[in-house]
Each structure stands twice: as structure tokens, then as C-alpha cells.
Amino acid sequence: MERDTHFVLGVYDDEDVLLHAVEEVRASGVKIDEVYSPYPVHGLEHVLGYKRSRLPIAAFLFGMLGTSLALTMQFYMMRFDWPMIIGGKDYAAFPDFIPVTFEMTVLLAAFGMVGVFMISSNLKPWAQPRIFDVRSTDDKHIMAIDIANNSAMDLAKIEAILKSSGATEVNKKSFD
């Protein structure tokens, strides 16, 4: 995937200003690439128009996988592979299997969800994160706008929109 390299950055001081700015900027037709903030801003994903995450579906499927794996494993081991009588119960004593089944369900749901999240957010160990502005880890909110995505709009106009929405600075950033 070719990654775009030229961005316009709006820098915001205040989260309330930022929330209104995101609404204004999107209303004026500019497509926002991403907003970086030092802490989670409540309602930001809502004004950015992000769809709800489908991660719960992955969690459910991995959980079901865990349930079936655990039951199959125990049933095979206890009934066919090495049948053993424990506590005078049947070989395949279903209630005995429940704790292990529960643990496997939780384990696979959690691992599966973390794995899917990492893959879908491109969080691999050798990933090179793009630093738009180091101050987004301190006290500034950074709105990144991809110039190639907004080719229909004049660059000066985008900058004007950002300024009027309350950005304290408007910068440009290019990556190699």
C-alpha cells in the first residue's frame, strides 16, 4: 500500500475546541485523516464519524473456538486417548470439563481479540510509527489532513478552514 506523504496539521489546545473544530472541518467538506491526542477525548470517535468497532464479533468467534477446542480436547483425552476414572465419575464427566472450557474460552477470546486488533491497526513490532507532531504526546491535539485525499480543495482554503475552526497553529508535514 502506497502511503501518502504530504499532510496539513491543525494544532489545537483545548478538547472542546477540537470537538467543535472536527465537526466544522468535516462539514466544510475536508476529509480528516486522523486526530492525535495525548489522552482519550470522549466523543471524538463520534464526531469523526467512525463506525463502531467490529472487534466484539472477533471476540465472540474466538471465544466459540476456545469453547469447542476445550470440549473436544478434554472429551478426546478423557474418553478415548487415556480413559481414567476420577472421583468415581464417568470417563467423560461433563461438569468436570466446565472450568477448563471456561478458561479456554476466555483465553482464546482475549488473545484472539488482541491479535485481531494488532493486525487491523497495523501494530506490528517492526512498524514505523509516523510522528506528526511530538506535542501530541504532551498537551496538544493534532488534526492530520491528507493533502492527496483533498485534491479537490485548494491548500490555502484548507488552511483557512483550520484557522477559523480554532487551530492555534497550522503546519505542514511531509514524510519520505
Partner 1 sequence: MAHDAQHYNLDQKFEFKASTKKSIMTVLVIGAILLGIGILMAMFGGHHEEGAEAGEHAFHWYERLYANLWINNVYFTGISIIGVFFFAIQYAAQAGWSAPIVRVMLSLGNWLPYAAVLMIATFFLANHDLFHWTHSYLFDKASPEYDKIIDGKGAFFYWPMAKGTFPAFFIARMVLFFGFWVFFFNKLKSLSYAEDTLGGSTSWYKIRSMSAYFIIFFAVSSSISAWDWVMSIDTHWFSTLFGWYVFASWFVAGLSAMTLITIFLKGQGYLEMVNENHIHDLGKFVFGFTIFWTYLWFSQFLLIYYANIPEESVYFIERLSSDVYGPFIFVNIGMNFVLPFLVLMTRDAKRHGVFLKLVCTMIIAGHWVDFFLMVQPGTLGHNGGIGFMEIGMFLVYGSAATMVILGGLAKGNLIPKNHPMLEESYHHHI
Whole-number minimum distance, CB 66 to partner 1, in Å?
15
Which phi and psi angles does 94 have, rounded to 5°? -55, -45
Q: Residue 45 in 3-state DSSP?
A: helix
Whole-number minimum distance, CB 40 to partner 1, in Å?
13
Of 29 and 43, which has the nearer Cβ to partner 1? 43
Of 102 and 111, which has the nearer Cβ to partner 1? 102
Amino acid letter for position 3:
R
Query: Mask 38-57, x = binds partner 1 (CB under 8 A)?
Result: ----xx--------x---x-
Whole-number minimum distance, CB 42 to partner 1, in Å?
8
Interface of this chain with partner 1, residues 118 to 147, rule: CB under 8 A: none
Whole-number minimum distance, CB 87 to partner 1, in Å?
6
Query: Mask 65-104, x = binds partner 1 (CB under 8 A)?
Result: ----------------------xxx-----xx-xx-----
Whole-number minimum distance, CB 169 to partner 1, in Å?
27
Helices (H), the chain: 15-27, 44-47, 55-75, 94-120, 155-164
How far is it, in rounded angstroms, from Cα 21 to Cα 28?
Answer: 10
Give residue for cell 473436544.
Answer: 72
How far is it, in rounded angstroms, from Cα 13 to Cα 140?
Answer: 5
CA nearest neighbour of 49 among 68, 23, 70: 23
Strand pairing category for 169-174 and 34-36: unpaired
Of 92 and 147, which has the nearer Cβ to partner 1? 92
142 near 22, Cβ under 8 Å? Answer: no
Binder among 49, 60, 111, 123 for partner 1 (CB under 8 A): 60
Binding site for partner 1 (CB under 8 A): 42-43, 52, 56, 60, 87-89, 95-96, 98-99
